[in-house]
Amino acid sequence: MNAVQSRRLTQEVADTYQRALTGGAFYLVAWLIVGIHGGAFERAPVTSWLLALAFAGLALARFLHRPLHEGDAAACVRWLYVHWTIVVLATLVWGLLFCWALLDDGFQGARTAALLSTLGLATAVAHAFSMRRGFALTGIAMLYGPSLVLLWPRPADRAIALVMLVYLVYVLISLVRSHAEYQQRLNLDQELRDQRDLFAEQSKIDPLTELANRRHFSGVLALAATRALRSGEPLTLLVLDLDHFKKINDTHGHAIGDACLIAIAGRLDNAFNCDGELPARLGGEEFGVVLGGQDLETAAERAERFREDLYRHPIALEGIVLAMTASIGIAQFDKARHRDVDELYSAADRAVYRAKAEGRNRVCRDEPVQVQAPADS
Give burial (CB, 10 Å; 0-12/13-18/19+) of 262.
middle
Whether residue 135 contacts residue 141, with contact meaning beta carbons closer than 8 Å, is answered with: no
In whole angstroms, give the CA distance from residue 341 to residue 250: 34
Catalytic residue among 181, 285, 308, 358: 285
Whether residue 96 contacts residue 146, with contact meaning beta carbons closer than 8 Å, is answered with: yes
In whole angstroms, give the CA distance from residue 6 to residue 151: 44
In whole angstroms, give the CA distance from residue 146 to residue 141: 8
In whole angstroms, give the CA distance from residue 203 to residue 107: 67
Whether residue 360 contacts residue 377, with contact meaning beta carbons closer than 8 Å, is answered with: no
To the query of whether residue 277 is one of the catalytic residues in this protein, the response is no
Name the phi and psi angles at 373, rounded to 5: -70, 145
Catalytic residues: 285
